């Protein structure tokens, strides 16, 4: 599958992986940061569902 035809979430994941690897960020730091990001976006999703 070509990346240009991939779903948006796959494109974003590939971009994030490349960015994190380019900056040689420790895997532990990446996972901790991703957990924070996940919690933030889950909160935003809950809040937006409450607005509907």
Residue among 31, 38, 36 nearest 17 (CA) = 31
Model pTM above 0.85: no
Confidence band of 26 (pLDDT split at 50, 70, 90): very high
Quickly list H helices, the chain. 8-22, 27-51
Confidence band of 1 (pLDDT split at 50, 70, 90): low
User: What percentage of the chain exceeds 70 in pLDDT?
Assistant: 96
Q: Where exactly are the structural domains of the chain?
A: 3-51
Find the mean pLDDT for residues 28-48. 97
Question: What is the overall mean pLDDT for the chain?
Answer: 94
Whether the predicted pLDDT of 14 surpasses 80: yes
Q: Are 14 and 3 in contact (CB under 8 A)?
A: yes
Buried b (16+ CB within 10 A) or exposed e, 4-14: eeeeeeeeeee
């Amino acid at each position: 599958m070509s990346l240009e035809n991939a779903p948006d979430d796959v494109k974003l994941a590939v971009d994030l992986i490349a960015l994190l690897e380019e900056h040689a960020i420790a895997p532990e730091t990446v996972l901790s940061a991703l957990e924070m990001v996940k919690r933030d976006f889950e909160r935003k999703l809950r809040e937006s569902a409450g607005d509907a």
